[in-house]
Amino acid sequence: MRYDDVIANIDNDYAPAGKDACWLHFTKASKTDLERLLRTISVHPLAKQRLLYGTDIPMVDEYERCLFISLFIVRPQLQITKIRMIATEQYMISYAEENDPLIEQVKEKLVHHREHASHPGYVLYYFLDVSALRFLQVIDDIADRIQSLEKQVFKTPFANEIGRNIYRWKIQIHELRQIAEAQEEMMKMLQHTKFPHIHAETNPYMQDIVGRFSRITAALDTFKETLSGIFDLQLSLKSDHMNVIMKTLTLVSVIFMPMTFIAGVYGMNFEAMPELKWKYGYVYALLLMTTIGISVALYFKKKGWWGETDTKEK
């Protein structure tokens, strides 16, 4: 039988127990070949069903003589690719709805380590290894974007787009956090499985992958806290700016308050007000109001309430 998507066919020298072992990869275009293959090998029906139709979360299930693994791969654009696998003693069967560069990366690793290719557990490890590296690259990219967002807050603190970007990032990070946590638990289960060629042979490698995903989940938690801090920072900057505006308006109103008082007094027009008969009363009132206004402004300046935001209150 010929399969168009056969990626690796291992030499007999490396096959376990004198048998051939191979990794077969299928896509949606070759799904018919996959169904034909599954009818010829002894695999649990539920594992076959999950391989063909998928799951909603990353998971691992152990059946008689096989393992089912559902792996979620994160792309740089934060798109999710699902790769489903069945591992037996002689086969590593993987399936994805569409092509992904991850397959070539795993193949390249196996080419350089052909002694590992005879063990389905090692093939699985390389899948997990590449997926963890992909996730770490995405983490680095998210960190750079969040840092740019933080700088933007100081440049344009009143841009409403910043708040919307923070909200979108928090949603995406929450989704990534769920995937990373589920895959971390999945890998911890793989450490303790007793399936041949996975537990004893690859357990140290699985521990390394678990450690990577622990760092990934911790980084995503930190990103959520950082985004909340950026949002609070923007609100604080807006509040500070509003306080400056209110302070300026208050100072202006206080300066004009004595002027309004003087104008009100001399606007009463009582006959017994001698100042109303002064030849220079109008000029005197204007000079008085101007002098009081300037004096109040200079007092505010001296106290550091006006135009000197860094001056300490005396």
What are the sequence ranges of the domains in the chain? 6-236, 243-303
Provide the pLDDT confidence category of residue 258 given band limits of 50, 70 and 90. confident
Protein fold of 6-236:
Beta Polymerase; domain 2 (3.30.460)
Does residue 198 register a pLDDT over 70?
no
What does CATH list as the number for 243-303? Answer: 1.20.58.340
Burial of 200 (0-12, 13-18, 19+ CB in 10 A): exposed
Average pLDDT over residues 205-227: 87
Does residue 143 carry a pLDDT above 80?
A: yes
Task: Please report, for residues 164, 173, 268, the alpha-carbon distance to residue 170 in angstroms, rounded to integers and kept in the order given.
Answer: 10, 5, 64
List all residues 6 or more positions away from 311 whose beta carbon is below 8 Å from its beta carbon: 304
Least confident of 3-7, 56-60, 84-88, 286-290: 3-7
Residue 11, pLDDT above cutoff 50: no
User: 310 vs 203, which has greater pLDDT?
Assistant: 203
Distance CA 216, CA 184 (A): 9
pLDDT, average across residues 82-97 = 85
User: What is the mean predicted confidence (pLDDT) over 262-287?
Assistant: 79
- The conformation of residue 130, written as its DSSP 8-state character, comes to H
| Least confident stretch, 5-19, 31-45, 170-184 | 5-19
pLDDT in tens, 13-70: 333 444 556 788 898 888 888 888 888 888 888 888 888 888 888 888 888 778 888 9
pLDDT of residue 196: 61
DSSP string over 270-282: -TT-GGGG-TTHH
Measured between alpha carbons, how far is 158 from 204 in angstroms, rounded to an integer? Answer: 51
